[in-house]
Amino acid sequence: MANNKRNKFNHKKRFSPDMSYVPPYDAAILALGIEYLKLGEEVAAKLTGAGITTVMDVVRREERDFYRIYSFDRKNLGELKSALNNRRLRLKPPAERDTAEIAHDAGAERGRDNRDRRDNRDRRDNRDNRDNRDNRDNRDNRDNRDNRDNRENRENRERRDNRDNHRDNRDRRERVDSRASKAKKNPAIWNPDGISEKRTKEEREARRPRRPRTEHPVDKYIKINKNNKWGFATRDGKEIIKPEYDDVFMFKDELCCVEKEDAFGFIDRDGDVVIPLQYECAASFSEGYACVFKGGVCGYIDKEGNTVVPFQYDAGTAVANGECRVKKAGKWGELHISEPDNVRWIN
């Protein structure tokens, strides 16, 4: 049982991102849960099962990191990148490949070159070994073509020239028609002194529909890192919470999920531990509840650390509108926090 438990949560170490990379986005957006990305149920479940619960957890990873998640495929990655693009976010740029990978690719390329050279040599030998009878026939045919009547050659050249002239004229007419069609679709705006291209562009830009600007809340604290340890400071640089944790999330419901020595718990804005660091994994609070792992399974606690949903599920999502999704025995279901024993199983 102990070995199974250890293997189940080794994924946290395998998926730990580079702590030195700081995504170039607003701290408040990075602190939001992955539900902000509006992902499909399948992708959200796979990310949550791998301990990826916030936007920060997503954008600090490279593309190849997501393929290490069990059953996470190219289609899932495409959906994730599309959702990030809709929010004007991007994954971490890929790091430079190491020497071993480059050497492996170079070896494969040399192998392909050698194989191509062998194939070309075989084809050349086949051509050189053609039957002598075919070669004689080809020579005879070539001689016959060279001995055609001069009148026929002259007529052929004239027909070819006429055909080329006809094709050139047709292409010229099509280009003129195309320019006229474009001018009709994008009519220029006339001024008394003639066509003003600058004004044309300005008018078209003014008619273009604009996406309404979304204002996101900005937390008064920002993360700081010293000696690979994390803490918090105010936006003017004043240290508030000493950097002593291996990882910290952003404050949600005035509490922050922190990790230290492979244990998770919660602190308040003064840096005091409100809920002891006793969980194997945890997510930020949402609507007063947080999903935490203990003993290889997950449940939900309130802000006082009381268990409100028993520890019996394989995975769980953040609470939204009083509801969350939980997974057990390969099935996902909908659970209302006020009725933890009544789960509506989906599949």
Instruction: List pLDDT tens digits, range 103-140.
Output: 554 565 566 567 767 767 777 776 776 766 676 766 76
226 near 243, Cβ under 8 Å?
A: yes
Q: What is the mean pLDDT of residues 224-228?
A: 93
Q: What is the mean pLDDT of residues 237-260?
A: 94
Q: What is the mean pLDDT of residues 3-25?
A: 61
Domain spans, the chain: 15-121, 155-218, 221-345
Q: What is the signed CA dihedral for 167, 168, 172, 178, rounded to 10 degrees?
A: 40
Band (pLDDT 50/70/90 cuts) for residue 142 is: confident
Q: Is the dihedral of CA 125, 129, 134, 139 positive or negative?
A: positive
Q: What pLDDT, on a 0 to 100 scale, did the predictor assign at position 45?
A: 92
Contacts 24+ apart (CB under 8 A), 252-258: 252/31, 252/33, 252/284, 252/285, 252/286, 253/284, 253/285, 253/286, 253/287, 253/288, 253/303, 255/285, 255/303, 256/232, 256/284, 257/282, 257/283, 257/284, 257/285, 257/290, 258/230
| Angstrom distance (rounded) from CA 39 to CA 89 | 14
Band (pLDDT 50/70/90 cuts) for residue 276 is: very high
Band (pLDDT 50/70/90 cuts) for residue 12 is: very low
Of 96-100, 176-180, 205-209, give the range with the top mean pLDDT. 205-209
Query: Which residues have a Cβ under 8 Å from the Cβ of 325 and sit 6 or more positions away?
Result: 41, 45, 316, 317, 332, 333, 334, 335
| Angstrom distance (rounded) from CA 283 to CA 167 | 69
Q: Of the candidates 285, 283, 300, which has an alpha carbon nearest to the alpha carbon of residue 337? A: 300
pLDDT at 53 over 50: yes
Q: What pLDDT, on a 0 to 100 scale, did the predictor assign at position 268?
A: 94
Q: What pLDDT, on a 0 to 100 scale, did the predictor assign at position 7?
A: 47
| Cβ neighbour number for residue 62 with a 10 Å cutoff | 15
pLDDT at 196 over 50: yes
pTM (whole model) above 0.75: no
pLDDT at 245 over 80: yes
Of 233 and 149, more confident: 233
| Angstrom distance (rounded) from CA 142 to CA 155 | 20
When the pLDDT of each residue in the chain is averaged and rounded to a whole number, the result is: 82
| Angstrom distance (rounded) from CA 200 to CA 20 | 48
224 near 232, Cβ under 8 Å?
A: yes
Distances (CA, A) of 291 to 27, 53, 310, 325, 326: 22, 10, 11, 11, 10
Q: What is the mean pLDDT of residues 34-52?
A: 92
Domain spanning 221-345: CATH 1.20.120 = no
Band (pLDDT 50/70/90 cuts) for residue 62 is: very high
Topology match between the domains 15-121 and 221-345: no
| Cβ neighbour number for residue 298 with a 10 Å cutoff | 27
Q: What pLDDT, on a 0 to 100 scale, did the predictor assign at position 28?
A: 87
Q: What pLDDT, on a 0 to 100 scale, did the predictor assign at position 10?
A: 44
The model's pLDDT over 166-191, given as tens digits with 9 standing for 90+, comes to 788 888 888 877 776 665 665 555 55
Q: What is the mean pLDDT of residues 198-215?
A: 79
Q: What pLDDT, on a 0 to 100 scale, did the predictor assign at position 319?
A: 94
Q: What is the mean pLDDT of residues 323-336?
A: 93
Residue for token pair 């026929």: 152
Q: Of the candidates 61, 56, 63, which has an alpha carbon nearest to the alpha carbon of residue 79? A: 63
DSSP per-residue string spanning 171-190: HHHHHHHHHHHHHHHSPPPE
Distances (CA, A) of 87 to 32, 91, 213: 12, 12, 12
What SS3 state is found at 101?
helix
Q: Please, what is the Cα angle at 75 between 69 and 81, to 5 degrees? A: 85
Q: What pLDDT, on a 0 to 100 scale, did the predictor assign at position 144?
A: 67
Q: What pLDDT, on a 0 to 100 scale, did the predictor assign at position 6?
A: 47
What is the CATH architecture of 15-121?
A: Orthogonal Bundle (1.10)
